[in-house]
Amino acid sequence: MYHHEGEDVFILDSHVHLWDASEENIDHEGGEQFIQCFYDYHTAFTPEEHQWDLETYRKYGPEKMVRDLFRDGYVDMGIFQPTYLTDFYAEGFNTTDQNAELATEYPERFVLNGQFDPRDDAGLEKLERLKDDYGIRGVKLYTAEWRGDSKGWRLDSPEAFEYLEKCAELGITNIHPHKGPTIRPLNRDAFDVADVDDAATSFPELNFIVEHVGLPRLDDFCFIAAQEPNVYGGLAVAAPFAQNRPRKFGEIMGELLFWLGEDKLLFGSDYALWEPDWLVPTVMNAELTPEQREEYGVSLTTDIKKKIMGENAARLYDIDIEEKTQTLRDDAISQQFDLGETETAAD
């Protein structure tokens, strides 16, 4: 467990991937454009000494992922957020079934989420299968994913509402729509956060964790989330700003804390876009400027950071942190890497 200013901090990374963008798996020119764009984001924010070469980045594999998250990255648990992209990648970019192999090997360490796409044939049955096979509690939604001639779909469409009704029926309560920066060759407008509004209003029994907090449409997201009690913000993509754009990070966090409050924000590394070994300490040591603290009336205290780094996600996924901490002290990962009871990092 991470240690900061005399406090233990449970790190529940709410946004991790195990992807395959190897050249053998690319089935469409969009697949190469997609991974190249991902790599541009990686190098833009990652400290030079932590940057990967492109070939490693394409397909890093489960062993490296486990080491990067749990041995080196201070992460206690991670939530798999699948991104299928089956029009671009022959076997998919990272699917629930693929992620399940690692989640099944380390069930105490991973939460496995599913996916739906209202354009899928027999999609409702596929969603039921994911629930039956894996007991999923959440779904990751990629509204800008291409499917044949279609270049995206809307969360507030009648077709999508059928799937949200099915999620409510099945007890899949955590809905994670990707609403952030565009990725080549996908369309920016298909990531627009506006369709979250009606969906959240229409399904108050579901939690909508908006990944990437709508960036670059932060204001739109904040105004939606401020009026919808079941809308949360996932900080993947926002978090790396703390490294080389600390003032911008303070602005983003100030707006989020002002409008949403400290109980509705979830840390995510977006692994393997970025690694938690440098990102976790960077975020934990981040602070707003004096001017920002005065303007927004908030400060990034240790208690607030503890909520953001794990407690809020644990609440949404019914994880008892105290109980889980005891379990993890002697699980397969702790034994494999000879982890002590508390992992520390320089504050």
Q: What is the Cα–Cα distance from 87 to 177, expressed in whole angstroms?
A: 19
**Range 105-117 average pLDDT:** 98
Tell me whether residue 344 is in a domain.
Answer: no
Query: What is the pLDDT at residue 332?
Result: 93
CA atoms of 180 and 238, how far apart (whole Å): 9
Mean pLDDT of the chain: 96
Question: Is the confidence at residue 340, as pLDDT, over 90?
Answer: no
DSSP-derived secondary structure letter, 50: G
First-residue to last-residue Cα distance in the chain:
14
Structural domain harbouring 151: 2-337
Q: What is the pLDDT of residues 12-37, one digit of tens each?
A: 999 999 999 999 999 999 999 999 99
Q: What is the pLDDT of residues 122-178, one digit of tens each?
A: 999 999 999 999 999 999 999 999 999 999 999 999 999 999 999 999 999 999 999
How far, in Å, CA of 115 to CA of 174, rounded? 11
Provide the token pair at 63: 């062993």
**Predicted local confidence at residue 216, as pLDDT:** 96
pLDDT band at 319 (very low <50, low <70, confident <90, very high): very high
Q: What Rg value do the Cα atoms of the chain yield, rounded?
A: 19
User: What span, in angstroms and rounded, lies between the C-alpha atoms of 71 and 142?
Assistant: 30
pTM given for the model: 0.96
347, part of any domain = no
Locus of tokens 């600390």: 246
Residue 221 counted as domain residue: yes
- Half-sphere exposure (CA, 13 Å, Cβ side) for 203? 27
Please give the C-alpha separations between residue 39 and each of 53, 55, 127, 276, in angstroms, as whole numbers: 9, 10, 31, 16
Extended beta strands in the chain, E state: 2-4, 7-9, 12-16, 77-80, 110-112, 138-141, 174-177, 207-211, 231-234, 265-266
Instruction: For residue 15, tell me if it sits in a domain.
Output: yes
Q: Please give the single-letter amino acid code of residue 231.
A: V
pLDDT at 1: 86
Q: Is 273 helix (H, G, I), strand (E, B) or coil?
A: coil
**Cβ partners under 8 Å of residue 142, min gap 6:** 83, 84, 85, 115, 117, 178
pLDDT at 346: 46
- With respect to residue 342, please indicate whether it lies within any of the assigned structural domains: no
> 40 lies in a domain?
yes
Report pLDDT digits (tens) over 69-101.
Answer: 999 999 999 999 999 999 999 999 999 999 999
Q: What is the DSSP string of 182-239?
A: --TTS-GGGG-GGGHHHHHHH-TTSEEEEEGGGTT-HHHHHHHHHH-TTEEEE-TTTT
Position 347 pLDDT exceeds 80: no
We report the CATH number of the domain holding residue 151 as 3.20.20.140
In a domain, residue 343? The reply is no
Residue 346 forms part of a structural domain? no
Spatial distance between the Cα atoms of 79 and 132, rounded to a whole number of angstroms: 18
Domain count, the chain: 1
| C-alpha dihedral (329, 330, 335, 341), degrees to nearest 10 | 20
